[in-house]
Structure 1
């Protein structure tokens, strides 16, 4: 059988945006917007770049993604230039590609805007200049790699049409690009040039070398003004302070920043561990004591120099994981915060609303006091990365609300979310007789009340602790709960039942308080992990053979079994209502299983495997973390804002690739939109039929005032008769008069004059109404839907008048009265507008009963209506009686 391929990616989820990604190894760019009078920061994040305002570090724009990762960034007053591969693209409004520059054959690694032109250098040592607007090639220069390999590029201030090039060989060249001439060659210092930076003074340039030296050089006279030596390796970035203080900042590969005093020609201060990886870019904001730094550790930091000694103080920052996150979970019932444990050893909280609500809970340490004194350099005091954690907000304002176990560590740490720090307790069993060196915690759980936490160990023990005091409160089983490592621990929402599973292929149910074993369920294969949905009592268990078992903890029975993954199941999560079970596997797929029907309803393929996923408690977002990816990606639930058709997918369904949010280029986005629009035709919309069944009756859904008071209309008119004659209101000249009736209509001038005329026109008295004419026409073609529609649009007084006018003394006839009764018969036959038919028939009999008794034609017509009426009423009365009996029984049972 041929494999069934998906026509589109995911039916339920669509990419929304990424969280926790702020910077990579590409140096940032700072721009000044004259209209806004504000500085903006541009950083690269893989295939796209982000724009922040420097004042608050608030994200203001995300660019459209490029097909490949960005290799370098540059910007002028209007455009942002980003290179990928051998192409250079110009972005307008920080988002849209407006120009593409082609011609280079190798990867671009240097870009420099130059007035109306832009300069780029590729790895094959070719320099090319384009006209920005026309995209035409202006100049191409080829250099020999053996003698001059370009490694740095800048435009000296006030040097018209001239650029300065630095090389890996250490020499520098000054070129006039208009005349295409080499003006001067600087012999250099026998060390590769890494950075060229213009000083505030004219003719002066700062030159950073691979040997760690910094030369302040006058290029006009080829004279070195001063020299600095950095002991942390090559110079990665340079920036001059321009607010009146002669200071030069230099970055290093170790993440340190050195501040050099240009007047005293000495090192003024050091900013150690400014970043945990090599400094990618440094920029002093013009005329402000602010230094912006970014690095490959996924962090942007703004430092302010407002204290004595010239030492920088961290003013604001945006920081994510410097290593991929390994475990994520939503924190709190509102779904606005996502807790993340990264392989860098830190715990982070990312906000789905705004970055300013995100925060870092820090890094786990063996001794908090010593680690705080030593700062980030206390590597020996760091705990291993967190592998799994559990959180609860019930008592987080009183004591710690997060419990986490670390990689190959016996101690489990508590964390305080409110204070954003590691807690006071490290939980481990108090008496371990035969402590194995490789004994470690494997699973944790915190109760819904926030008072107790459970820790499962690799030897099969499950221990209970009071999270407020950290006191050990016992363990499950006589010696241990399982005969192998614990793979999962869970407690129901009422603290009645504890569920554990281990590598011994058993799922055990315990009484939470007495720790007594209630039930044991066997598995065919060792479990990988499991998850309990407390609200519905569904327990999802992932097995090593890539299958899923779902247990009901109330009946303690296996209720569902799912097959379909072809790789290890990394994580699973439930939808808030418990109807869907979502699983992520090493086969790079995310699958959605419908528990009531037991079917696979959605499946999509990603280019990297999902290591952890979590569904928002409000059901609006799915969050995923991926292999070797620093970000957390949000997928919006389309079923909340659009109509989707969920159909069971076949067993051989082959999903199509779905790009991560923010990883689609313009062409792919357009194709996706077209594809979704074309698939909307497949969505099955349910349309309710006009009549649900042959034995059912359908009401008209018109207001009761249209038909309920038809029999008592004379009494109502007599009661509502005005005591005084009506007064003519003062006419407003700017209002158009309207005609009385249910449907508002404007009166024409001719109608208004006719209404004011007191001359009686006999033609008007002889004119037949529209309803009367339609009844006459219905006699011939037997279609009573048209007069019925007209009658339903009338008010009670109009209906009364029309029924009265059916009599011969009012201008009617027996044939028209018979047609009216046939219309009632058609309504009873179709069983539509049931209450209207009863009201119209009752009014007709009330007004014309004496006349009907004298006409045999009308009597025969009424005799044909009687069986239909009796049959319908008997059936309805039976249904009413049954409903009343059931209600009486339910009331008596409740009492």
Structure 2
């Protein structure tokens, strides 16, 4: 692999940093719409799924993420896997090979456009497809897929003569690949000779071949068509064996995947097929009939369907950002969902912190809306992410004996969510989240405890207007619905009973702003007015509501949205008026934020109330500091912000964007003003221009164009491996040696004592006696031990040590470690000890001669100075003192005593610095988590 290719592969992502924000990570992404790679390594099965510019590897036992590939500059468009090696295709048309997270090789050429699909033939050949199936390239993979420095040979262009759709390898057909086309073509190609072997003529269906799967039986291949039909053909005789298909299966769309069940269960041949409508069908090949089906297995097209070899498990992925593992364990032999990981499958239009800010466990959850679904995302444990169920939509009533109204207009489906509100305070008592859906005159109720839609609804009597805005009080007892005709109605959330009209905006505009300021005070505004209305609910049965209106300054725009922060309300205006910050107590506009001229798409307050973040439809975002009336940051994105919010403690800003909406991505940006710079330098100044923060740079390349020498130096830095040396003076780094390795070194005596046999081995009572025997033909003869006697008589003189040939007898007894420390090769000595086992490490340190103790002390002093591999060096020092402490105390060597004193001073200084840093870190963690505040309040 060339140096340029190495540089390109190792330049993963150097995140661009604005004046305040820096890329942190992306949450909520499970898998992309591309097909995933399912591979078995030993007894474990892994799933490699594309996630925009990276990929994630899951295990099928628990669907835990094993590792996440660092994000690349180009979008990953396809992946295939060979064992624990991944081959990826990129949007720039190139192909790369990675062994886990280590780059192996990158092609220097590629497609004119992006790589659309990849197909492997063993571990030798690779087919890459581009240009809508009209460009097929053949690559030869390196001999080793685990050692860096390999080279991908090729590409060779295959002239198929038709549009490529899918391919598979048929067992026992060496170097051959079966290729399907858009017009129903099916051909067998030899990839080694680049020649077409045979064009199959037995297929009568002119629709596209969309799926191929080789059967466990020789020569048999299953073919799926765009029409929904499935054929089983014999490749050797070019004949159709039988055809599968029902009215139900054909109505489910085109075939997207085929796989055979290969475990040793009680079955006579089972074929599974997936469709573009998200259904999975199980076919009985012995009876040639449909055995069972899983309707709605995925919400949308199924991209991957693979039966795990030798196990009754099936893995599927879809365009709904979900990975499912199914199992054959029902008495009738049908599938059952075993486990699933799922994220948002449509653009996330609303996100807010779901929990009490005083509860550290709850404040890391986010409440989101995506399409017509509600979900909860965790910033800590991604496995807890879940999209809430809507199975109650199919129920006809609210439950036995319930007087609650429950009916859905039309076909019972839900439109897109227009507004969402909820509070976690009451989730264990009653349903606590409500949503307004497009085209619905009722508000839908969800339970955070059940994580599902409940069969209740908020319905205004004798009303046909649509609900466009909803709000829930902080106490969780009341809810409000804003209607399209300008009315605002109140409900009791526990009983879902109607509690009357709150107010009505007379200008016939729909409710654009609806917020609870308190359980009895409601803020509302109309989309056709420039007034904010505060309605206070009367406390008595005969009391009337009190109204108060705040008129905004004259202008052409009207109110569009609002964000409340105590007595301050940020109101987004239409027609380029920006955002007005209104003080509700005084009724005055205290800030006018007009830096953004495009319509506002999202805005939100920080939890401290100091920062206001505003994003517009031009993909720009501005962060304002309200007390100083100044802009603290300007950034722009690849696509407009759909929703945003600040995490509890203002450590992170969470945003969603349309360009990653198909992945269900929530982007987290670190607040560097709160946490400080990564290198301890001064914080960045406010940028004058909008910084494209989500367009990362290559490492070593500055925003300011440098000269050729600087670019060359940057490339050299990229080609070098990652440095594990501390970046700042006084810092330390931990070793990459497994903990068990050095942990066993400290307890080797205990392990030997524990493993000591209880009794010595006993001699067997009667053991067979064997005589050395040779054969003269068929006659056995006794063979004396002549060879042994000869070897004994000839005591090799060359094996005896000749003292006259040894210049320094003491140095000849030095170990490899001692020779390195005598030569002051500290780096080599450390690497040598890293390679030792627990017993080997004990032996190396225990056999250091007294003459070399000073060099050993100097070695530990040098390692303490660098701070590298801190934990491993401390273990080595502990063993060194264990074996040689008495010798150090009794020694009269002044040089040795001076070296020990210097080492003692160095260790004392390092510990004080380390202890101070830990104390500061502990204070910071307590400050951010609130534990320090709670402790002070308790005192």
* Interval containing the TM-score (normalised by the shorter chain): 0.5 to 0.7
Contact 1:576 1:617 in 2 (8 A): yes
SS at match of 1:350: strand
Contact 1:347 1:363 in 2 (8 A): no
Choose which of 503, 507, 520 in structure 1 pairs with 2:550. Answer: 520
Which residue does the alignment assign to 1:890?
none
Give the whole-Å Cα distance in 2 for the aligned partners of 1:139 and 1:548. 55
Contact 1:87 1:102 in 2 (8 A): no
1:214 has 2:230 as partner: yes
Contact 1:390 1:444 in 2 (8 A): yes
Give the whole-Å Cα distance in 1 for the aligned partners of 2:24 and 2:293. 41
Q: How does 1:186-225 map to 2 (within 5 A)?
A: 186-190=200-204, 191=206, 192-225=208-241
Which residue does the alignment assign to 1:337?
365
Which residue does the alignment assign to 2:263?
243
Contact 1:172 1:188 in 2 (8 A): no
Which digits, 9 at most, give the CA deviation of each residue in 1:417-441, with x for residues without a partner? 1111224542233355xx5xxx322
Which digits, 9 at most, give the CA deviation of each residue in 1:724-766, with x for residues without a partner? xxxxxxxx978979xxxxxxxx9999xxxxxxxxxxxxxxxxx
1:25 has 2:49 as partner: no
Deviates more, 1:635-644 or 1:618-627: 635-644
Which sections of structure 1, spanning at least 5 residues, go unmatched? 1-6, 679-731, 738-745, 750-895
Give the whole-Å Cα distance in 2 for the aligned partners of 1:268 and 1:659. 49
Which digits, 9 at most, give the CA deviation of each residue in 1:276-301, with x for residues without a partner? 32222210011111111112222221
Which residue does the alignment assign to 1:398?
429
Which digits, 9 at most, give the CA deviation of each residue in 1:193-219, with x for residues without a partner? 322222112333222233433232332
Q: 1:151 to 1:505 in 2, by over 3 A?
A: closer
Which residue does the alignment assign to 1:793?
none
Contact 1:87 1:100 in 2 (8 A): no
Contact 1:346 1:364 in 2 (8 A): no
Q: How does 1:69-468 map to 2 (within 5 A)?
A: 69-85=75-91, 87-107=93-113, 108-122=115-129, 123-132=133-142, 134-137=150-153, 140-145=156-161, 148-190=162-204, 191=206, 192-229=208-245, 230-231=249-250, 232-244=252-264, 245=267, 246-333=269-356, 334-343=362-371, 345-363=372-390, 368-369=395-396, 380-430=411-461, 439-468=465-494
Q: 1:99 to 1:511 in 2, by over 3 A?
A: same
Contact 1:166 1:193 in 2 (8 A): yes
SS at match of 1:249: strand
Cα shift at 1:306: 0.4
Give the whole-Å Cα distance in 2 for the aligned partners of 1:481 and 1:556. 21
Give the whole-Å Cα distance in 1 for the aligned partners of 2:364 and 2:307. 35
Q: 1:462 to 1:482 in 2, by over 3 A?
A: farther
TM-score normalized with structure 1 length: 0.67
1:509 has 2:546 as partner: no
Contact 2:393 2:455 in 1 (8 A): no
Contact 1:462 1:481 in 2 (8 A): no
Cα shift at 1:581: 0.8
Contact 1:364 1:383 in 2 (8 A): no
Give the whole-Å Cα distance in 2 for the aligned partners of 1:153 and 1:39. 23
Contact 2:560 2:572 in 1 (8 A): yes
SS at match of 2:383: helix
Cα shift at 1:183: 3.6
For the aligned residues, what is the CA RMSD? 3.4
Q: How many residues align?
A: 657
1:49 has 2:55 as partner: yes
Q: 1:484 to 1:140 in 2, by over 3 A?
A: closer
Contact 2:619 2:638 in 1 (8 A): yes
Which residue does the alignment assign to 2:669?
635
Give the whole-Å Cα distance in 1 for the aligned partners of 2:60 and 2:704. 35
Give the whole-Å Cα distance in 2 for the aligned partners of 1:499 and 1:181. 74
Which sections of structure 2, spanning at least 5 residues, go unmatched? 1-14, 144-149, 357-361, 401-407, 539-543, 707-713, 715-884, 891-895, 900-939
Q: How does 1:728-767 map to 2 (within 5 A)?
A: none
TM-score normalized with structure 2 length: 0.64
Cα shift at 1:366: 6.4
Q: 1:225 to 1:378 in 2, by over 3 A?
A: farther
Give the whole-Å Cα distance in 2 for the aligned partners of 1:20 and 1:369. 33
Which residue does the alignment assign to 1:564?
595
Q: 1:627 to 1:27 in 2, by over 3 A?
A: closer
Cα shift at 1:312: 0.9
Contact 2:19 2:686 in 1 (8 A): no
Q: 1:144 to 1:397 in 2, by over 3 A?
A: closer
SS at match of 1:189: coil
SS at match of 2:618: coil
SS at match of 2:698: helix
Q: How does 1:836-847 map to 2 (within 5 A)?
A: none
Q: Specify the structure having the higher radius of gyration (Cα).
A: 1
Q: How does 1:606-685 map to 2 (within 5 A)?
A: 606-627=637-658, 629=661, 630-643=664-677, 649=686, 653-659=688-694, 664=696, 667=698
Which residue does the alignment assign to 2:523?
499
Deviates more, 1:223-232 or 1:565-574: 223-232
Cα shift at 1:242: 0.7
